Amino acid sequence: MSGIDGIIYLILTACLLPYLFTIIAKKAGGFKAQDNQNPREFLAKKTGLAARANAVQQNSFESLPLFIAAVLMAEYMVISQHVIMTLGIAYIILRILYGICYLCNWSTLRSVIWMLSMACPIFLLVIIIRII
């Protein structure tokens, strides 16, 4: 597998991750086919686990642009593949842990893990800035 293959898998995984939490939100909320006419309204009215899973989904989508931009810029600037992959994999693992913490309603740990997950793409950008 070449370096760009790994980058593609990182981005694909990060892009698909929010949909995992969408499925959890819908399942926990009792989503039915007739609810598909307005799924955002359906999820907005939910509480408990379904609402938390929906919040993870939304936050996951919100963090994607920073992650994708950082990974692509790092690749463009020829940052070490090892560094990109390490920080990219760490981001994905931390985002999964973030989602688990959110679902379990562990707010303090969730916030710590959120900060660590966001540090991964930010650190990539700092590396880029330092070599410019």
- Read off the pLDDT of residues 65-111 as tens digits, 9 standing for 90 and up: 999 999 999 999 999 999 999 999 999 999 999 999 999 999 999 99
* Alpha-carbon separation of residue 32 from 22, 26, 79 (angstroms): 14, 8, 46
Contact 21, 96 (CB under 8 A): no
Give the pLDDT confidence of 28-50 residue by residue, as tens digits.
Answer: 999 988 878 899 999 999 999 99
Specify the number of domains making up the chain.
1
31: helix, strand or coil: coil
State which residues form the domain around 66. Answer: 3-131
Amino acid at 12: L
DSSP annotation string for 72-125: HHHHHTT--HHHHHHHHHHHHHHHHHHHHHHHTT-HHHHHHHHHHHHHHHHHHH
Q: Which CATH number belongs to the domain containing residue 8 in this structure?
A: 1.20.120.550
